[in-house]
Amino acid sequence: MILLETKSLAKSFGDMHAVNHVNFSVAQGELLALIGSNGAGKTTLVNLISGLIRPDSGTILFNGADVTAMSVHDRIRAGIARSFQLVTIFDQLGTLDNVELAIFSREAKTRRLFSLASSDHAVREEAHEVLREFGLEDRAARAAGGLSQGERKLLDVAVAYALQPKLLFLDEPTSGVSTREKAPIMDIITSIVRSGKITAVIIEHDMDVVFRYSDRIVVMHEGAILADGTPDEIRRNEQVTTTLLGTGLEAHDHARA
Amino acid sequence: MSPISASPKRALFYAIPIAVVLFFLPLLIEPYQVTLLEYGLIFAIAALGFNLLLGYTGLLSFGHSAYFGMGAYAVAFIVKYLNITSMEVFLLGGALASAAVAALFGFLCVRYTRIFFGILTMALSQVLWSLAFKFYWVTGGTDGLRVPTPSLLGVTIPQGEEKMMFLAHRYYYYVLVIFFLSAAAMWLIVHSPFGKALQAIRDNETRAEFVGVQVWHYRWVAFLVSGIYTGLAGTLWVPLNGLTTPDILHWTFSGKIVFFTVLGGFQTFMGPIIGGVVYNYLETYAVGHTVYWQMVLGVVLVLLVLVLPAGIAGTAGRLMLRLRKAA
């Protein structure tokens, strides 16, 4: 079943066709990797679908409904959530507060002015549970600004996850963290996504990560989709390997040999 | 604003001793000193409202004189045109008037942040100031409007009781009760899910939007609450001052509200309260001792920014933390 579909989605910045009439689809339940060199249009595509920016033309269908003109708020209600490439968490709030806020928002409780946030035990319990799943439980009382880069990346994803989305976009969840930290972070994220039966789209540069964790890979190049297939198909796709992955894949094979 | 969620017990641990001191203080000090404290508590309410925007939502308003002034002029108009002197009617009128203006100005301002927000709030407040200044047949112009001693809870001031005694006693306790109610309500607001949403907006506007918080809408509600608080302070201030003039609508008065808050420390809940009270003493004694009082306040402000950027409450909090670690 198709969960999300874009039809001829387009966005230009001046003369640059950042997303050039793209037909992109995500099937229910899959973990899809969106790859491509810098400037290929991956982040712009996610920005369009999540509502951060408006498309010039084209439509976005989510769960069969046209969400092209919907506000960010309504898209989140519909079940589209995202994390950001440059970590965006609430630094002065506690780690637990970050997750709690997402839950309060999901339950439309952020309109409550005269009730104590900390006395909502159900929300608190759920927030602790989310932190446990992400391995951040012992950081609950700390200010989010004081976490390590890897923990911040995880918290960023945890906040989006706490919204209980149907479709979750993760924009480079392991960028900026050490190579050593990448695998543990991806292990946590992918296991949560799979056990929670959340459909996820991950933008990622690290090919090692991409081939290891995704069900399907969509390759973008200069604003268009260049290839779409299983990791094995992409690995064997000559067009992809020459135009995009060439050096990276070879280096990767050498490293493995 | 510590990340560790504040508990009501902890808040009462601080609030109860303060309440006891403030309750018994008028028995120990001169009536004049009591009225100074009263001014301080009223400024504290104004600053508490202001800081909901600055400390918790990340918006620096330079136009809070507008709401303080609306609260004050609403009272003067109630006296002038309706001939009513009930304090409860004053409070209702002041709250409604400041809410109306805050709702309108907020609607125009919350789309902007930083300097643009600050300038726009200031410009709008100056419009009110010029109205009060020019429409002298309504507002009394620079002469202002007089406000008599109000009745409290239906009880008018007994014959023969001196006005000073009334202000330093009955009116003091009236202000004190409203101060505590306001502070308690504000404490609840900043620790509510709504308050958390405001802090999220302050920390990262884009992400707040992507958690489902409608940023402009929440900012507007915060602006409204903030304006009502500062308006209530203006309402309480008029009977004490006996007169309202356009000065309190001028942007320099907005600057004072900023000063209260920075002096006390905008990153703590208690900061604006301490700042309002301390500033009032500071200004009174500076005015009493030198004609260069503005220079004294200027020096204090410079020192504050350079040496104690966290304000009195913020610095005290850090010192306590350091002592606790050392112990």
Q: Concatenated DSSP letters for A117-170?
A: GGG-HHHHHHHHHHHHHTT-GGGTTSBGGGS-HHHHHHHHHHHHHTT--SEEEE
Least confident of A12-21, A236-245, B68-77, B147-156: A236-245
Count interface pairs A-B at CB distance under 8 A.
120
Distance from CA of A10 to the nearest CA of B (A): 22
The DSSP bridge pattern shows strands A2-13 and A16-27 to be antiparallel
Query: B159: distance to nearest CA of chain A, Å?
Result: 42
Closest partner residue to B196 (CB to CB) among A50, A77, A117 is: A117
Q: Which residue has the tokens 């506000």?
A: A71
- CATH number at A17 reads 3.40.50.300
Q: Please report, as a single letter, which amino acid is at residue A126.
A: E
If one counts the domains in chain A, the total is: 1
Q: Comparing A223 with B197, which gets the higher pLDDT?
A: B197
The pLDDT assigned to A245 comes to 56
User: Is B210 part of the contact surface with chain A (CB cutoff 8 Å)?
Assistant: yes
- Set of chain A residues whose Cβ sits within 8 Å of the Cβ of B3: 92-95, 97, 141-144
Could you give the CA distance from residue B189 to residue B212 in angstroms, rounded to a whole number?
19
For β-strands A199-203 and A167-171, DSSP reports them as: parallel
Do strands A16-27 and A65-66 pair parallel, antiparallel, or not at all (unpaired)? unpaired
For residue A50, what are the CA distances in angstroms to A10, A100, B137, B218?
14, 22, 56, 21
- In this prediction, the residues of chain B whose per-residue pLDDT falls under 50 are 1-5
Query: With contacts defined as CB-CB under 8 Å, which chain A residues touch B310?
Result: none
Chain A CB within 8 Å of residue B10 CB: no
Residues of B in contact with A105 (CB under 8 A): 197, 211-213
Say whether residue A84 is in contact with chain B using an 8 A CB cutoff: yes
End-to-end CA distance of chain A: 39
Domain that holds residue A117: 2-256
Q: Least CB-CB distance to B196: which of A77, A100, A106?
A: A100
Q: What's the gap in Å between the CA of B112 and the closest CA on chain A?
A: 18
Determine contact: A118 vs chain B, CB below 8 A.
yes
What pLDDT is recorded for position A246? 53
* A118–B189 C-beta distance less than 8 A: no
Task: Give the tens place of pLDDT for each residue, A41-88.
Answer: 889 999 999 999 999 999 999 998 999 999 999 999 999 999 988 888
d(CA A164, CA A197): 10
pLDDT above 70 covers a percentage of chain A that reads 95
pLDDT value at position A206? 79
Place of tokens 């700390």: A142
Q: Which residues, including other chains, have CB under 8 Å from residue B116's CB and lie 6 or more apart?
A: none
Whole-model pTM: value is 0.89
- Neighbour count for residue B20 (Cβ, 10 Å): 10
Q: Note whether ipTM > 0.90 here.
A: no
